[in-house]
Amino acid sequence: MNDRILGLHHITAIAGNAQRNFDFYTKVLGLRLVKKTVNFDDPGTYHFYFGDETGSAGTILTFFPWEGMQPGRRGTGQATEIGYSVPAGSLDFWLQRLQQHGVTYNKPSEKFGEQYLTLLDPDGLKLELTVAAAPDARTPWTTAEVGADVATRGFHHVTLTLADIKGTADVLTDIFGYKLVDQHVNRYRFATDAVPTANFIDLVEAPGEARGLVAAGSVHHVAFRVPDDAAHLHFRQKIAAKGFNVTPQIDRDYFHAIYFREPGGVLFEVATDNPGFTVDEPLAELGTGLKLPKQHERLRSQLENHLPPITL
């Protein structure tokens, strides 16, 4: 498996208010705050990680909540939809819950033979709750209000909207080992069979659509999963050999990362499973303390006074 991408690792997006972002993803969607840290490059901004109990790869949605950030705009050159897997029979629960919390949503629909429900988070980020054709056996994080029979299991897919899909499709197939498995009109579904979940990428070709603006309510980057540093080096060499400007390996404390921009304009990351989110907090306490990258620990008192307080 070391020479194959193991589906999605995480997806990182932008929000405009930290408390509102935390409340929506933990209290409405019922995800776990796995890590509360800061942006490596802008430590005056939080970096939240939401996922399952352990922050398993394929469940992790992260946010940079830049206070007062202008709204983004969906368009080409962007990841425009994030799909979560939910159990069969759960969409009625989610419809009632979204209504109860005043969340914008559309009626359930169907694509590629799967039912899904579209909703917008408080910043306008487009999410989809998808009843996967194959039962999803992942163990969900549950809350008093979101039980195991309805809870999200992790990612199902992510959609990239592009002016031309060819270059992006070539990255998925020639470098990452995905295959085209279905098509409907201008939507092309690619999948890897290396893992059974978080393994779909949809490419939507929209040559006449305006380019998107990445800001609040937008995806910042999409991260693909590898198991360890050996696989990471293999893919870095493979990406560079195709002529892409790929970064050196960067230590992100909870995983190691490389980045490059694919031909359609979306920022791609490849991230390792190691070392994981319990490297600086025990499992039972994940997300409860402010964890700082080593280079920013000297700024702790300053950052604690600057960062907006979050009621957990």
Q: What is the mean pLDDT of residues 11-25?
A: 98
Residues with Cβ within 8 Å of residue 148, at least 6 apart in sequence: 139, 140, 142
Percent over 90 (pLDDT), the chain: 98
The whole-angstrom separation of Cα 170 and Cα 238 is: 13
Determine the length of the chain.
312
Task: Report the pLDDT averaged over residues 39-58.
Answer: 97
261: buried, middle or exposed (CB in 10 Å: 19+, 13-18, 0-12)?
Answer: middle
Q: Tokens representing 180?
A: 């085209």
What's the pLDDT score for residue 88?
A: 97
pLDDT at 89 over 60: yes
* Per-residue exposure over 151-187, b if at least 16 CB sit within 10 Å of its own CB, e if not: bbbbbbbbbbbbbebeebbebbeebbebeeeeeeeeb
Counting beta carbons within 10 angstroms of the beta carbon of residue 36, is it exposed (0 to 12), middle (13 to 18) or buried (19 or more)? Answer: buried
**Segment 107-140, tens digit of pLDDT:** 999 999 999 999 999 999 999 999 999 999 999 9
Q: Which three-class secondary structure string do you get for 187-236?
A: EEEEECCCCCCCCEEEEEECCCCCECECCECCEEEEEEEECCHHHHHHHH
* Residue 161 in this model has a pLDDT that exceeds 90: yes
Evaluate whether 63 touches 15 at the Cβ level (below 8 Å).
yes
Assess whether pLDDT exceeds 80 at residue 201.
yes
pLDDT digits (tens, 9 = 90+) for 245-295: 999 999 999 999 999 999 999 999 999 999 999 999 999 999 999 999 999
Distance CA 188, CA 119 (A): 22
State residue 269's pLDDT score.
Answer: 98
pLDDT at 1: 54
Cβ distance 11 to 200 under 8 Å? no
Map out the domains of the chain as residue ranges: 8-306
pLDDT at 26: 98
DSSP letters for 116-175? EEEEE-TT--EEEEEE-SS---PPPP--SSS-TTT---EEEEEEEEES--HHHHHIIIII
CA neighbor of 9 nearest in space, from 280, 279, 231, 198: 198
Rounded Cα gap, residues 234 and 117, in angstroms: 38
Average pLDDT, the chain: 97
Cα 204 from Cα 169, distance rounded (Å): 11
The pTM assigned to this predicted structure is 0.97
How far apart (Å, rounded) are the C-alpha atoms in residues 123 and 220? Answer: 14
pLDDT category of residue 209 using cuts at 50, 70 and 90: very high
pLDDT-derived band at 11 (thresholds 50, 70, 90) equals: very high
- Residue 3 has a pLDDT of 77
Average confidence (pLDDT) over 169-175 = 98
Cβ pair 75, 213 in contact under 8 A: yes
Please give the average per-residue pLDDT across 213-230, as a whole number: 97
pLDDT score for 14: 98
Model confidence at 4, in pLDDT bands (50, 70, 90)?
Answer: confident
Which pLDDT value is given to residue 280?
97
Give the confidence band of 298 by pLDDT, cuts at 50, 70, 90: very high
User: Residues 203-224: what's their mean pLDDT?
Assistant: 97
CATH architecture of 8-306: Roll (3.10)
Phi/psi for 14 (5° steps) reads -120, 140
Walk across the sheet containing 126-131 and list its strands.
109-111, 114-120, 126-131, 78-86, 154-162, 200-205, 187-191, 179-184
Question: CA–CA distance from 155 to each of 90, 152, 167 (Å)?
Answer: 16, 8, 24
pLDDT band at 2 (very low <50, low <70, confident <90, very high): low
